[in-house]
Amino acid sequence: MLSDRQTFLSGVGNQLARWEGPLEWLTPRIGSGEAGLPSSVLLLMGPHCGDRSEGFRPCLILNKRSRRVSQPGDLCCPGGSVSPQADSYLAKVLGLPGFPLSRWTHWRAWRQRRPKAARSLGLLLATSLRESFEEMRLNPLSVTFLGPLPPQRLIMFKRMIFPMVGWTDRQQRFFPNWEVDKIVRIPIDALLTPDHYGRYRFGYGKGAERVVKDYPCFTHHSGRETELLWGATYRIVMTFLEMVFGFAPPDPGEGVR
């Protein structure tokens, strides 16, 4: 499946199409102007990890958060909260002939069988693409939409994150804004290697209220730099690997740091 572009894209799209989770409830909730709007992120992939001479080697394209935002240094998917007015308009554009949503193989079936869910899906995809443009100047028209992933609940922030899976062939250079320190590419084959997984010990709070917990993580080495994938983004990536490749990480071992 990792050998060539067409096999990879069709395989990912077919596996993601098996999930038909509930999205119908989102449309009326978003339209009502309630607080606590959901968020959407783009799990973005591309055909190379920076070196085209390697040939086709699909990779995950992530942002590393800058020091000017919360949780600096963490790897994350581009995304943010739904903006009902702007994203509703963009969703209509994305559904026009030749645009990412209309090019999605399963779009017609969703519109026919699940019209409310289809409207929510369009809105969430619009959010993820708008935020990706703002954060890293991703060209929305260069994205091939492959399907949605099950949502992730952020208990601490009382918010639901809806990941959308996308692919870009055309764009290799990105231009991060002030929220992003740099772009990090992780090969999919590395994510499927059990030896790269471990445990991350993280503490928060002060004094008697300080809490220390261990979290599963993935460690990526690039030259002299080491990047750590953990938290909500880790869970999103693990869900993707489980759904598409049937991969589950090993039980966490000793802490990475």
Q: What percentage of the chain carries pLDDT values higher than 90?
A: 69
Average pLDDT of 100-112? Answer: 95
Domain assignment present for residue 156? The answer is yes
Sequence-ordered strand ranges (E) for 143-232? 143-148, 152-154, 159-168, 180-187, 197-204, 211-222, 225-230
Total domain count, the chain: 1
Domain assignment present for residue 41? The answer is yes
Check pLDDT > 70 for residue 206: no
Which pLDDT score, from 0 to 100, does residue 205 have? 66
Which pLDDT score, from 0 to 100, does residue 256 have? 47
Domain assignment present for residue 157? The answer is yes
State the CATH number of the domain containing residue 166: 3.90.79.10
3-state secondary structure of 244: helix
Domain assignment present for residue 68? The answer is yes
Residues 125-181: pLDDT tens digits?
A: 999 999 999 999 999 999 999 999 999 987 655 678 999 999 999 888 999 999 999
Domain containing 188: what range?
Answer: 5-193
Which pLDDT score, from 0 to 100, does residue 20 have? 85
